[in-house]
Structure 1
Amino acid sequence: MAPPPLPTIAPTIALLGPGAIGTTIAAALHEAGRTPMLCGRTALPSLTLRGDGGDLLVPGPVRTDPATIETTVDLLFVAVKATQIEAAAPWFAALCDARTVVCVLQNGVEQERRIAPSLPGSPVLPSVVWFPAQRQPDGSVWLRGKPRLTLPQTPAVGVVVAALQGTRCAVELAAAADFTSLAWRKLLQNAVAGLMVLAGRRAAMFSRADIAGLALAYLREGLAVARAEGAVLGDAVAQEILAQFQALPADMGSSILADREAGRPLEWDIRNGVVQRYGRFHGIPTPISDLVVPLLAAASDGPG
């Protein structure tokens, strides 16, 4: 399948949710001379991305009031957490119309289904985010790998490819069936990262034989559900994902662990609950999910 034609006029771009992933995308765009409008909950004068090549400052400000938005945009990157979609509805109304392409930079395999009801008929483009970015105590974001997105090959993808062309963020296009497989592979990775929350530990925990065994069993449980949903993933995927965790720096965390440490609501449903829900739908036993999911849900409720 040939790639979609690129727009001949530079698109107007906004980014909603300048957290770790959002800051990385904003920095990539700014570096290429395509600085997006920044929108979020917290007013900031700028964003800072840290990496091996030094710091990159993205000029703001971060706008916090959707009522001040005067016009819609061609492309909206949505990097708020799935737990914040409902609260983001005023932003969608202000930034989007039926022609706005909405690229969702969120975890999970239900991105389109969850966000589409809040949009004014805008085309929704799910993505798979393949880079480790961590927010630091000073508010900056530490990018600890090369940024890469996988997007489905659809008519709407051209505007995203054009926006990110020539930036530090690589874009890969996948046919629908391949995208399903890749999205579920990333979902399995996200699900296992939830074990960090329950242990209160970072990547070093996966060097323990007992944790490695638990992670493998959990991955194989999710793999059965993923295949029932149409993902084409071999048996080796479970061991490959575990090996990725074991190869991480010992102090590498995950976004769900960062949320737990900060006392924020957790994305437990789209990362872990989905395996349990789809397993039940397909009649697949999910004994590990049946233990992990309620514990994560309880942790998301906060103290007390």
Structure 2
Amino acid sequence: MLENPRIALVGPGAIGTTIAAALHEVGRTPTVCGRTAHPQLILRHDEGRIVVPGPVLTDPADIKQPFDLVFVAVKTTQLDDSAAWLAALCDENTVVCALQNGVEQKTQFAPYVSGATVLPSVVWFPAQREPDASVWLRGKPRLTLPDTPETSRVLAALQGTRCEVDLSADFLSVAWRKLLQNAVAGLMVLTGRRAGMFRRADISELALVYLRECLAVARAEGATLSDDVPQEIVNHFQRYPIDLGTSILADRQAGRPMEWDIRNGVVQRYGRKQGIATPLSDLIVPLLAAGSDGPG
């Protein structure tokens, strides 16, 4: 166990700001790295707000030595742009906690982290960027991590913070369950609507059919998930505030590239590998890809 580990965070968006604020609140303020030199980060929550002092570093040349623990909260569409940060922050002794969607974090990060250990995570809290650049945390923050020795570094960093950490001996299944939730959220992009749309009977039925297709692929990839999972996920969306969005919808509305491949395309790709028909994915994925990347 390291005493007073050096902690950095790349990507102070909604998820990154939440983690930075949780660490700052208990006196473990990380070095924050990003594209914009914000003077501070502000997290709003039910009890008030947390202000993380800045500035956010914007030049990787300011990093003079590797860090012990690096949280990375950039989207996969921004990973190439973060290469210089990761090269400066990481060496073979670093643990990189990937706060990203999908089930492919280890292979995605491997070319960038100078031999560091990549620790995937599943993020279970809704947080959204507000127009004033603050972040609104709309649920209790919680992460799920694989139960491995490297996880101890993240556990120690987040111990006593408002961010709960669960360990899973079957992380593959947990990651695929979250991927199913992310995949069906892609329907929000195609309608331009928020979580309230899942209260429509026709949308909830479409979501169930799509989720069952995703479930078949997840099981073929080794996930242990019950037949009840699709209905549980739809029920979850129906309980959300009707105005709650999702990061992929925010990207679409802002005209930014979307994470369509690691949230939805992955089901189609792995389905083809496993010989599983994915008719809904074959419709949804091209629409999301065109909405993200064009042309037109």
Which TM-score bucket, shorter chain as reference? Answer: over 0.9
Which structure 2 segments of 5+ residues have no match?
none
Read off the aligned partner of 1:220 and give its amino acid letter: R
| Aligned mates of 2:174, 2:89 — CA distance in 1 | 29
Q: Deviations over 1:52-104 (max 9, x none)?
A: 01111011110011012111110000000011111111111111111010000
Of residues 126, 132, 139 in structure 2, which corresponds to 1:132? Answer: 126
Taking the TM superposition and a 5 Å limit, the aligned residue runs for 1:176-195 are: 178-195=170-187
Secondary structure of residue in 1 paired with 2:232 = helix
Secondary structure of residue in 1 paired with 2:50 = strand
Is residue 262 of structure 1 aligned with residue 222 of structure 2?
Answer: no
Deviation at 1:283, TM superposition (A): 0.4
| Aligned mates of 2:117, 2:81 — CA distance in 1 | 20
Taking the TM superposition and a 5 Å limit, the aligned residue runs for 1:134-173 are: 134-173=128-167
| Aligned mates of 2:6, 2:284 — CA distance in 1 | 42
Counterpart for residue 58 of structure 2 = 64
Of residues 31, 36, 39 in structure 1, which corresponds to 2:33? Answer: 39
Is residue 240 of structure 1 aligned with residue 232 of structure 2?
Answer: yes
Kept in 2, the 8 Å contact 1:10–1:163? The answer is no
Q: Deviations over 1:17-42 (max 9, x none)?
A: 00000000000000010000000011
Deviation at 1:10, TM superposition (A): 1.8
Kept in 2, the 8 Å contact 1:265–1:302? The answer is no
Counterpart for residue 268 of structure 2 = 276
| Aligned mates of 2:54, 2:130 — CA distance in 1 | 19
Counterpart for residue 48 of structure 2 = 54
Q: Deviations over 1:108-149 (max 9, x none)?
A: 000111111111000000000000000011100000000000
Read off the aligned partner of 1:32 and give its amino acid letter: V
Counterpart for residue 20 of structure 1 = 14
Secondary structure of residue in 1 paired with 2:51 = strand
Is residue 201 of structure 1 aligned with residue 175 of structure 2?
Answer: no
| Aligned mates of 2:295, 2:29 — CA distance in 1 | 39
Read off the aligned partner of 1:36 and give its amino acid letter: P
Secondary structure of residue in 2 paired with 1:188 = helix
Instruction: Work out the number of aligned pairs and report it.
Output: 296
CA-atom RMSD in angstroms: 0.8
| Aligned mates of 1:296, 1:96 — CA distance in 2 | 33
| Aligned mates of 2:141, 2:230 — CA distance in 1 | 23
Secondary structure of residue in 1 paired with 2:52 = strand
Secondary structure of residue in 1 paired with 2:145 = strand
Deviation at 1:303, TM superposition (A): 7.2
Kept in 2, the 8 Å contact 1:153–1:174? The answer is yes
Is residue 228 of structure 1 aligned with residue 232 of structure 2?
Answer: no
Secondary structure of residue in 1 paired with 2:86 = helix
Deviation at 1:302, TM superposition (A): 5.2
Deviation at 1:286, TM superposition (A): 0.3
Q: Deviations over 1:225-275 (max 9, x none)?
A: 000011000000000000000000000000000111111100000000000
| Aligned mates of 1:123, 1:39 — CA distance in 2 | 20
Secondary structure of residue in 2 paired with 1:223 = helix
Deviation at 1:8, TM superposition (A): 4.8
Normalised TM-score (structure 1): 0.96
Which structure 1 segments of 5+ residues have no match?
1-6
Counterpart for residue 174 of structure 1 = 168
